[in-house]
Structure formats: C-alpha cells, structure tokens
Chain A
C-alpha cells in the first residue's frame, strides 16, 4: 500500500484478555519495527524483523508480548493476559533497506486501552 497501515486504530480490552495488533508495511519494505509509546513519552523500541526473521526482541517487556511476520510482510504483535500498564500507543514502522540510513515510515498506530 501507499503507507504503513495499522489496525485496529483503537482497541479497548478488559484486563486479562489477549489482543492482536496488526501492521501492514509498505510493499517491498524489508524491515519492520514495533514501538510502544506511553502517554507523554517517546516511542520505545520493542522488536524488529528483516523479512520474516525476528532480529531483535530485546525490547519486548516480558513473555506476554510476542510478534511474528510469517511471510515477511504483515506482522502481528500479540499481548497475552493484558494488564493496565500495557495501555499505550503501539506503532509500527517499515524501512526499505535493512538499516537506519533509509529512514523509517511509521503507521498511525493502535491506541490500546486496558480497562
């Protein structure tokens, strides 16, 4: 597509439920990144993929968080047993090349609220 598409735009879920956040990167973009942005903070790195391979997941806060990109295109970030502290804006970005010099194109994000 023309840009990075994330869905849903807004998600309200009850504590303890699982949620899946979707990211559809720009067609042909090799690298895909997930960030989390709490209110009033800058984006915090979670994980990234080159093609379908997860290269770095050191930013995932705990084992309730996981991500996949099985065909090297669309990615899903899954949060199991959600907690109120998981409430944040989750942003996805993609990049044409495998690296920062190419810059990143960010999606509009998914606003997750855990009640």
Chain B
C-alpha cells in the first residue's frame, strides 16, 4: 500500500522569498516520488522525480526536492518565488512502478 500526504492545501509567499511545499509519503517498499505542477487550464507537468539515485533532486524552473527516508518526506523547495510559479502542485508516489498515487495538491499563491 502507498499513500502521500500534502500537508498544506494552500501556501502563500511573497515574490522573491523561498518556497516550501511539504509532502510525506507512506509505502511498504522503496518508492519513486514525483512532483507535478498544474497551471490553470493546463495539463500536469513533471517538475522532478526521485528514483533511488541522488537524494537531492533538481527539477525545472529552479525547483528541487530532497528525499529523506528517515522522515518519509519529499518536500519541494525553491530559493526565490516568481509570479509564474503560482499554480497547484502535486506530490506523487509510486512503489510498484505502475500505479501511482497523487496527493490532494497544494495551491501556491505568489504575492507581488
């Protein structure tokens, strides 16, 4: 069984300040973990993925995430928020390499 919990449904940051979107997972085996972003009226876009290689994963648009097995976490961060980062972000876990489980999403608001 696998599950993922996104701890915040909404996050609001000022432009130029750091972003932290939290994700905790649960799985019986070593998971693959992903972050996706969904802009309004757009499809889901892969930001980054962790598949048992380096624990610090760098993605597109300056985002990165760190896999911490001891904390069962995979938080998404960015040093400096940009207005274009405003979107909804989904944390995703997969254990058996086929079925994936999505979190409920975190809406990121960036204040000018």
Binding site for B on A (CB under 8 A): 4, 31, 33, 35, 41-45, 48, 55-56, 59, 91, 93, 98-101, 103-109
**Assembled-state Cα–Cα distance A69/B8 (Å):** 37
Which of B13-21, B39-47, B66-74, B78-86 makes up part of the contact surface?
A: B39-47
Among A48, A100, A109, the most chain B Cβ lie within 10 Å of the Cβ of: A100
Binding site for A on B (CB under 8 A): 32, 34, 36, 41-46, 49, 51, 90, 94, 97-105
Contact B99 A91 (CB under 8 A): no
**Assembled-state Cα–Cα distance A55/B51 (Å):** 22
Tell me which residues across on chain A come within 8 A of B99, comparing CB atoms. Answer: 45, 48, 56, 59
Contact A103 B34 (CB under 8 A): yes
Instruction: Knowing A100-B32, A101-B49 are in contact, say whether A106-B43 is a contact too (CB < 8 A).
Output: yes
Chain B residue nearest in CB terms to A59: B99
A-B CB contact pairs (8 Å), 26 listed: A4-B43, A31-B98, A33-B100, A41-B104, A41-B105, A42-B90, A42-B102, A42-B104, A42-B105, A43-B90, A45-B102, A55-B98, A56-B98, A59-B99, A98-B98, A100-B34, A100-B49, A100-B51, A100-B94, A100-B98, A101-B32, A103-B46, A104-B44, A106-B45, A107-B43, A108-B41
